């Protein structure tokens, strides 16, 4: 199957962001992509005030666009993440939505790990405007391929990816908005590590940097295969898509010849004193 990442330069202008997403999603589908994944915060990037004012429900415009587009183009579409407003919640959710070729929502994943850090002399507090979730989800493409959904900072928590792989994920999506500082140091390394450890394809679109973009993002959207090979890569700046063919037969061969998932010794992964209890 063919997959594509769409790299955007999202701002606090939702109309502009969705227009760019639509244009590039259509271009990726015209290139043969059956699975198209968009970046984190595809619909809206900005301040806590921007999210509070602009977040929408799952019945709102961003998801309606994703459903209509997936149905028209007959693709699996992962609407990277959107700012989701929920009744009874003061903060928004950072939410990834998988829509199938029939236009129906297959799975909704809300980001678990909040980006509360200080890097490059800049402090980030995602939890000030976004509420963390606590549920791992696994979806499936129209062709029956296991699809794990994650978002950005989740990438640093390998337990999440191992659980998804053990539950049947063959592809994991990582819509992201890495900073330039963390991206230059860790983005490719982490993507390849998660792919190799779990023998999965990793499809990881990012936010590009450039004039008008919100923040100093890293871009460099990538698709990585289960051997850790980078199959496709965008640049750091601008809006674009990149695509690659995901060879599931090669994945099967890798898992057969180097069966690290089945060679796990789960009962040994504990401290000795715990084993004696």
The rounded distance, in Å, linking the Cα atoms of 274 and 277 is: 5
Which residues are CB-contacts of 259 (< 8 A; sequence separation ≥ 6)? Answer: none
Q: Which residues contact 175 (CB under 8 A, 6 or more apart)?
A: 37, 38, 39, 40, 42, 78, 80, 81, 96, 151, 152, 204, 205
For 148, the enclosing helix (H) or strand (E) is strand 146-149
Strand order across the beta sheet in which 222-224 lies: 138-140, 146-149, 171-173, 201-204, 222-224, 230-233
Which tokens hold the place of 80?
Answer: 């990277």
Catalytic residue among 67, 106, 111, 239: 111
What's the rounded Cα separation, in Å, for the pair 167 and 149? Answer: 12
From 152, 188, 214, 239, the catalytic residue:
152
Please give the angle made by the CA atoms of 245, 248 and 251, to the nearest 5 degrees: 115
Q: Is 40 a catalytic residue?
A: yes
| Tokens 């109309």, located at residue | 15
Q: Is 274 a catalytic residue?
A: no
Based on the residue annotation, tell me whether 152 is a catalytic residue of this protein: yes
Rounded Cα distance between 249 and 252, Å, is 5
Burial of 49 (0-12, 13-18, 19+ CB in 10 A): exposed
Q: Which burial class, exposed, middle or buried, applies to 25 when counting CB atoms under 10 A from its CB (0-12, 13-18, 19+)?
A: buried
Q: Helices marked H in the chain — which ranges?
A: 14-30, 48-54, 61-73, 158-166, 180-182, 188-198, 248-257, 272-275
- Catalytic machinery residues: 40, 111, 152
């Amino acid at each position: 199957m063919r997959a594509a990442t769409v790299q955007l330069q999202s701002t606090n202008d939702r109309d502009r962001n969705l227009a760019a997403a639509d244009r590039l999603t259509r271009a990726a589908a015209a290139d043969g992509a059956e699975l198209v994944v968009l970046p984190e915060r595809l619909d809206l990037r900005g301040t806590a005030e921007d999210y509070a004012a602009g977040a929408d429900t799952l019945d709102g415009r961003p998801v309606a666009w994703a459903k209509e587009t997936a149905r028209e183009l007959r693709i699996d579409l992962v609407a990277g993440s959107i700012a989701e407003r929920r009744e009874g919640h003061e903060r928004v959710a950072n939410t990834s939505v998988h829509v199938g070729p029939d236009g129906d929502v297959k799975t909704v994943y809300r980001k678990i790990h909040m980006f509360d850090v200080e890097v490059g002399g800049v402090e980030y507090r995602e939890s000030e405007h976004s509420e963390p979730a606590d549920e791992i989800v696994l979806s499936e493409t129209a062709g029956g391929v296991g699809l794990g959904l994650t978002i950005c900072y989740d990438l640093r928590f390998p337990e999440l990816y191992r659980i998804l792989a053990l539950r049947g994920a063959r592809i994991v999506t990582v819509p992201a908005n890495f900073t330039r500082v963390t991206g230059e140091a860790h983005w490719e390394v982490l993507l390849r590590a998660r792919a190799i450890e779990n023998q999965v394809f990793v499809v990881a679109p990012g936010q590009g940097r450039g004039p008008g973009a919100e923040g100093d993002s890293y871009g460099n959207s990538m698709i990585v295969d289960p051997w850790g090979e980078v199959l496709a890569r965008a640049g750091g700046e601008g809006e674009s898509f990149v695509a690659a063919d995901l060879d599931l037969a090669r994945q099967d061969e890798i898992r057969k010849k180097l069966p690290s998932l089945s060679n796990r010794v789960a009962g040994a992964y504990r401290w000795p004193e715990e084993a004696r209890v």
